């Protein structure tokens, strides 16, 4: 028996570009046979823009808003799915480049109000020092800036979003060239997006600690099942 874990998805209400509710996401992933979903809502300027966020400008209030999406998904999932906290960060100094963070904790978010305003080298150092795992999302998508492998734990070599050309083949070659760990994610934003990517493991992933151990060991296979991806 194998177990499927989603590593890249977004819910409405937090990610400004997402249109799928927590309840819809649970039904999608249960139907697709997943046991675990890592929710990676965006933390970027758009997340806290006036069009998307109507709370106070205080960092604690912003993190309350961000984490509400995670808690809503956990509540919707009940005992049907394991829900883990992650995020897709876009730093103010790297406005077109996205980074997925796994093993993320609520405590880290609340205690690092400066995190969006640092350069990526500092961001990477602080996140990794806290025991987390940093992945560049869709690094060869248009307008992305490819990041030094030394500052990353892995790169996303398969992105299942059908509305973007992610150049997954180039990302895969890049990972091989620099002997990097590889990840895969559906990048779900909408009800009609496919639950089509992630990782497959021999044991279930139920906690951040288990997720981090699996990612660092490389003891997984990539799920690559999207249909009608935009070709390069």
The residues spanned by each domain of the chain are 3-224
Q: What is the pLDDT of residues 16-57, one digit of tens each?
A: 999 999 999 999 999 999 999 999 999 998 999 988 998 888
DSSP output for 51-84? TT--S-SSHHHHHHHHHHHHHHHHHHHTTSSEEE
3-state secondary structure of 34: coil
Q: Alpha helix locations (H) across the chain?
A: 22-31, 59-77, 106-110, 120-129, 168-177, 208-217
Q: How many alpha carbons lie under 13 Å from residue 81 in its C-beta half-sphere?
A: 30
Pairing of strands 221-224, 197-201: antiparallel
What is the pTM for the complete model shown?
0.95
CA distances to 9, 102, 214, 219 from 200, rounded to whole Å, are: 16, 16, 10, 9
Beta carbons within 10 angstroms of residue 217's beta carbon: 10
Q: Please provide the CATH number assigned to the domain covering 3-224.
A: 3.20.20.140
182-214: pLDDT as tens digits: 999 999 999 999 899 999 999 999 999 999 999
**Which tens digits make up the pLDDT trace of 108-137?**
999 999 999 999 999 999 999 999 999 999
Q: Is 191 helix (H, G, I), strand (E, B) or coil?
A: coil
pLDDT digits (tens, 9 = 90+) for 133-175: 999 999 998 888 899 999 999 999 999 998 888 899 999 999 9
* 15 pLDDT higher than 90: yes
């Amino acid at each position: 028996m194998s177990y499927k874990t989603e590593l890249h998805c977004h819910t409405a209400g937090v990610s400004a570009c997402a249109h799928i509710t927590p309840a819809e996401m649970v039904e999608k992933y249960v139907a697709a046979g997943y046991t675990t979903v890592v929710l990676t809502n965006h933390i970027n300027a758009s997340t806290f823009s006036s069009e998307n966020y109507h709370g106070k400008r205080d960092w604690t209030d912003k993190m309350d808003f961000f984490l509400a999406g995670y808690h809503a998904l956990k509540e919707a999932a009940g005992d049907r799915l394991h829900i883990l906290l992650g995020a897709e960060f876009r730093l103010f100094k790297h406005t077109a480049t996205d980074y997925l963070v796994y093993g993320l904790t609520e405590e880290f978010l609340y205690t690092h109000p400066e995190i969006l305003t640092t350069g990526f080298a500092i961001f990477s150092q602080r996140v990794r020092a806290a025991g987390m795992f940093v992945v560049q999302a869709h690094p060869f998508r248009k307008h992305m800036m490819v990041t030094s492998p030394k500052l990353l734990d892995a790169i996303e070599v398969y992105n299942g979003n059908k509305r973007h050309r992610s150049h997954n083949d180039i990302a895969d070659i890049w990972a091989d060239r620099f002997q990097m760990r590889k990840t895969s994610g559906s990048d779900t934003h909408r009800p009609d997006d496919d639950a089509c990517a992630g990782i497959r493991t021999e044991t279930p992933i139920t906690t951040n600690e288990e997720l981090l151990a699996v990612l660092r060991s490389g003891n997984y296979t990539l799920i690559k099942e999207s249909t009608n991806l935009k070709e390069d």
